């Protein structure tokens, strides 16, 4: 039997990775690796190279030496491996790889973990719930599947071509739709999260709740039992956010829905009340309406009251045309649940519903982390305050995603996680959000990038703008669907494009072209002069740009 001393292991999962690496060395018949004892006992053929054993362990981020050797040999295969795996890499400390702890497993966490490993670090990723975070499990993916199914149901029941194509009201089998939805969620979680983590020996996954002991260590209450301390060189907090609960008297005593329960329901309620006026509330309200619910939205102000007023007006008109009741400037003062139905008291009378969906925003998941022990500062809303490099107020601790004061979009979280990893391993990277596109998946869709006129004026920027209604866009005319508009905002003087707001079918597909134009610092005249394919919705950007100097109603169909 041969014994090795092994350092750098932080948990039993590390021992498993070391065992796999050792047993892959030619001549090794079996390896018994103990995290607790910090060593390995090997049964192997005579003549098996000790250097190859040590190199195999070094190749996955740990250090090994023969148990009876005071120091590892120098100048042989081990030294070459040190160079291959980062011995001279700024991410390491000599022969020890930089150890990064990542709390969470969603978009920000995964992007950071993979980038950190790519840059030569080893990662311990800690997840208290389901691997993959909110987006793939309970947010973006299941909601967009449901929205698409509802869109298909809507088109089968009603379309602009019903005079020539007989419309048939579809039978909705919500249970089957839910099974299809959840199967795709599980498929993506396995492919894009679980399988990637399982296949990366430089990433150790711990299942449990993490809290800070101090600025350089965590205590993890393991899911199976017990606690484990994890020391780190750097730490990324990427714990996301959860739906916020509206402070309405009586609400907590009722079986109300948050978005997760709504998406997981295998039935479509005859009557659905929705409290909220932003992304989640409007997306799910329209989806349930198109699948058969009679939906009423209670909006404290107007829909999307923080955006250009034209957005809320256009979407409200589209919803009402579909039979969705939008009650603006209306709040519930009391909620009760009796005899199987919800009763909401409002300033405009009583509202009764079979189900109640609360979609009034999201709150950062920071309360259980004991951030005060590490000196991490929160804003009044409980979000972690970070700088442009994703650094918190504590040395060596970074944060990214919905638990911070960044915009709550998964692609922002992933981009921030990647940049945080670069910075944690000695690089310099910042996140530019000046041309951040955003999409709401209603029908028509809402898409924005850059500044609205009001936001520009608050920044002291003089603006000019034009709004093009979709009855001027050939694609919309050919579709017999001219709901919505495209609005361009430019900086007076420079003529640069600084913002775009659109309400249109497939607005999400055109907004990235606007984001690229803004990134390139294009003037509105340069945008108007570009070639756009005819009979596409994105051509509306060109037409909107042309309206600054021309009357597009007087142009031929594809006039350049």
CATH code assigned at 310: 3.50.50.60
Question: How much is the pLDDT for 62?
Answer: 73
Question: Is residue 373 one of the residues assigned to a domain?
Answer: yes
Question: Is residue 559 one of the residues assigned to a domain?
Answer: no
Residue range 502-518: average pLDDT?
97
DSSP state of 206: E
Measure the CA–CA gap between 111 and 128, rounded to whole angstroms: 18
Please say whether the beta carbons of 409 and 117 come within 8 A: no
Question: Is residue 366 one of the residues assigned to a domain?
Answer: yes
DSSP-derived pairing of the beta strands 397-399 and 362-364 = unpaired
Q: What is the pLDDT of residues 347-396, one digit of tens each?
A: 989 999 999 999 999 999 999 999 999 999 999 999 999 999 999 999 99
Task: Among 360, 394, 425, identify where a domain stops.
Answer: 360
Residue range 53-68: average pLDDT?
81
Question: Residue 29: helix, strand or coil by DSSP?
Answer: strand
Task: Identify whether residues 213 and 238 lie together within a single domain.
Answer: yes
Q: How many CB atoms lie within 10 A of CB 488?
A: 26
Question: Is residue 560 one of the residues assigned to a domain?
Answer: no
Distance of CA 18 to the CA centre of its chain: 33
Q: What is the pLDDT of residues 389-424, one digit of tens each?
A: 999 999 999 999 999 999 999 999 999 999 999 999
Question: How much is the pLDDT for 423?
Answer: 98
Task: Among 372, 401, 433, identify where a domain stops.
Answer: 433
Please check the confidence at residue 73 and state whether its pLDDT lies above 50.
no
HSE at residue 540, side-chain half, CA atoms within 13 A, is 33
- What total of structural domains would you count in the chain? 4
Task: Identify whether residues 32 and 118 lie together within a single domain.
Answer: no
Average per-residue pLDDT for the chain: 92
Task: Read off the tokens for 82.
Answer: 């040190």
Task: Read off the tokens for 501.
Answer: 């707001």
Task: Among 35, 52, 85, identify where a domain stops.
Answer: 85
| Dmax (CA) of the chain | 90
Question: Is residue 445 one of the residues assigned to a domain?
Answer: yes
Instruction: Look up the CATH number of the domain holding residue 18.
Output: 3.30.70.100
Residue range 262-277: average pLDDT?
98
Task: Identify whether residues 26 and 58 lie together within a single domain.
Answer: yes
CB burial of residue 199 (10 Å; 0-12, 13-18, 19+): exposed
List of E strands, 250-378: 271-275, 294-298, 325-327, 332-338, 341-346, 349-353, 355-358, 362-364
Measure the CA–CA gap between 138 and 131, rounded to whole angstroms: 12
Please check the confidence at residue 71 and state whether its pLDDT lies above 50.
no
Question: How much is the pLDDT for 13?
Answer: 63
CA-based torsion, 221, 223, 228, 233: positive or negative: negative
Tell me phi and psi for residue 37, to 5 degrees: -90, -10
> What are the helix (H) ranges across 3-132?
12-23, 50-58, 77-85, 107-118
- Higher-confidence residue: 91 or 336? 336
Catalytic (active-site) positions: 9, 11, 14, 62, 135, 140, 557-558
- Higher-confidence residue: 8 or 213? 213
Least confident among 75-84, 315-324, 380-389, 496-505: 75-84
Residues 6+ apart with CB under 8 A from 228: 10, 11, 206, 208, 219, 220, 222
Task: Identify whether residues 230 and 332 lie together within a single domain.
Answer: no
Measure the CA–CA gap between 534 and 350, rounded to whole angstroms: 50
Measure the CA–CA gap between 560 and 558, rounded to whole angstroms: 6
Query: For residue 413, what are the domain limits?
Result: 90-244+361-433
Please say whether the beta carbons of 490 and 498 come within 8 A: yes
Task: Identify whether residues 207 and 319 lie together within a single domain.
Answer: no
Please check the confidence at residue 100 and state whether its pLDDT lies above 70.
yes
Task: Read off the tokens for 239.
Answer: 């714990």
Task: Read off the tokens for 194.
Answer: 């679980």
Q: Which of 278, 280, 267 is nearest to 144 (CA)?
A: 280
Task: Read off the tokens for 454.
Answer: 């009001």
Task: Identify whether residues 72 and 103 lie together within a single domain.
Answer: no
Please check the confidence at residue 493 and state whether its pLDDT lies above 70.
yes
Question: How much is the pLDDT for 559?
Answer: 61
- Higher-confidence residue: 63 or 439? 439
Question: Is residue 150 one of the residues assigned to a domain?
Answer: yes
Please check the confidence at residue 285 and state whether its pLDDT lies above 70.
yes
Task: Identify whether residues 138 and 186 lie together within a single domain.
Answer: yes
Residue range 197-220: average pLDDT?
97
Q: What is the pLDDT of residues 143-158, one digit of tens each?
A: 999 999 999 999 999 9
Task: Identify whether residues 429 and 456 lie together within a single domain.
Answer: no
Please check the confidence at residue 10 and state whether its pLDDT lies above 90.
no
Question: Is residue 67 one of the residues assigned to a domain?
Answer: yes
Least confident among 10-14, 272-276, 308-312, 501-505: 10-14
Question: How much is the pLDDT for 9?
Answer: 73
Q: What is the pLDDT of residues 304-340, one digit of tens each?
A: 999 999 999 999 999 999 999 999 999 999 999 999 9
Please check the confidence at residue 497 and state whether its pLDDT lies above 70.
yes
Task: Identify whether residues 356 and 371 lie together within a single domain.
Answer: no
Tell me phi and psi for residue 166, to 5 degrees: -65, 125
Question: How much is the pLDDT for 15?
Answer: 81
Task: Read off the tokens for 249.
Answer: 């008297």
Task: Identify whether residues 130 and 231 lie together within a single domain.
Answer: yes
Question: Is residue 129 one of the residues assigned to a domain?
Answer: yes
Task: Identify whether residues 219 and 174 lie together within a single domain.
Answer: yes
Residue range 209-214: average pLDDT?
98
Least confident among 38-47, 253-262, 469-478, 491-500: 38-47
Task: Identify whether residues 108 and 230 lie together within a single domain.
Answer: yes
Instruction: Look up the CATH number of the domain holding residue 473.
Output: 3.30.390.30
């Amino acid at each position: 039997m041969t014994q090795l001393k092994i350092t750098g292991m932080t948990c039993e999962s590390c021992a498993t990775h070391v065992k796999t690496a050792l047993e892959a060395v030619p001549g090794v018949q079996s390896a018994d690796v103990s995290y607790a004892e910090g060593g390995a006992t090997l049964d192997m053929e005579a003549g098996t190279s000790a250097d190859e054993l040590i190199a195999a362990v070094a190749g996955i981020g740990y250090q090994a030496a023969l148990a009876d050797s005071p120091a590892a040999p120098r100048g042989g295969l081990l030294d070459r491996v040190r160079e291959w795996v980062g011995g001279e890499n700024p991410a390491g400390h000599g022969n020890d790889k930089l150890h990064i702890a990542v709390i969470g497993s969603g978009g920000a966490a995964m992007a950071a973990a993979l980038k950190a490993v790519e840059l030569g670090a080893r990662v311990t990723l800690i997840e208290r719930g389901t691997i993959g975070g909110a987006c793939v499990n309970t947010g973006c993916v299941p909601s967009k599947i449901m929205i698409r199914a509802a869109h298909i149901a809507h088109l089968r029941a009603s379309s602009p071509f019903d005079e020539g194509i007989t419309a048939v009201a579809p039978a909705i089998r919500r249970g089957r739709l839910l099974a299809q939805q959840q199967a795709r969620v599980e498929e993506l979680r396995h492919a894009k999260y679980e399988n990637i983590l399982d296949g990366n020996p430089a990433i150790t996954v711990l299942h449990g709740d993490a809290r800070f002991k101090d600025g350089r260590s965590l205590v993890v209450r393991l899911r199976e039992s017990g606690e484990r301390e994890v020391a780190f060189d750097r730490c990324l907090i990427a714990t996301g956010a959860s739906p916020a609960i509206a402070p309405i008297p009586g609400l907590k005593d009722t079986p109300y829905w948050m978005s997760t329960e709504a998406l997981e329901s295998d039935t479509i309620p005859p009557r659905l009340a929705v409290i909220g006026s932003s992304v989640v509330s409007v997306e799910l309200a329209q989806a349930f309406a198109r699948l058969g619910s009679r939906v009423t939205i209670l909006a404290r102000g107007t829909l999307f009251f923080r955006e250009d007023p034209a957005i809320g007006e256009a979407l409200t008109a589209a919803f009402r045309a579909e039979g969705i009741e939008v009650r603006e400037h209306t709040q519930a003062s009391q909620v009760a649940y009796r005899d199987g139905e919800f009763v909401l008291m409002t300033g405009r009378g009583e509202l009764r519903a079979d189900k109640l969906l609360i979609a009034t925003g999201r709150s950062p998941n920071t309360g259980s982390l004991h951030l005060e022990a590490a000196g991490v500062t929160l804003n009044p809303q409980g979000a972690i305050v970070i700088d442009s490099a994703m650094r918190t107020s504590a040395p060596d601790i970074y944060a990214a995603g919905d638990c911070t004061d960044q915009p709550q979009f998964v692609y922002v979280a992933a981009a921030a996680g990647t940049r945080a990893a670069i910075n944690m391993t000695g690089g310099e990277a910042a996140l530019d959000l000046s041309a951040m596109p955003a999409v709401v998946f209603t029908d028509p869709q809402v898409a924005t990038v850059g500044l609205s006129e009001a936001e520009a004026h608050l920044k002291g920027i003089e603006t000019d703008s034009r709004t093009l209604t979709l009855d001027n866009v050939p694609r919309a005319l050919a579709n017999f669907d001219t709901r919505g508009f495209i609005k361009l905002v430019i900086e007076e003087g420079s003529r640069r494009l600084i913002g775009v707001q659109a309400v249109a079918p497939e607005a999400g597909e055109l907004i990235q072209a606007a984001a690229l134009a803004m990134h390139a610092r294009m003037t509105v005249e340069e945008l108007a002069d570009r070639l756009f394919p005819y009979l596409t919705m994105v051509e509306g950007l060109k037409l909107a740009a042309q309206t600054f100097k021309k009357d597009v109603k007087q142009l031929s169909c594809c006039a350049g």
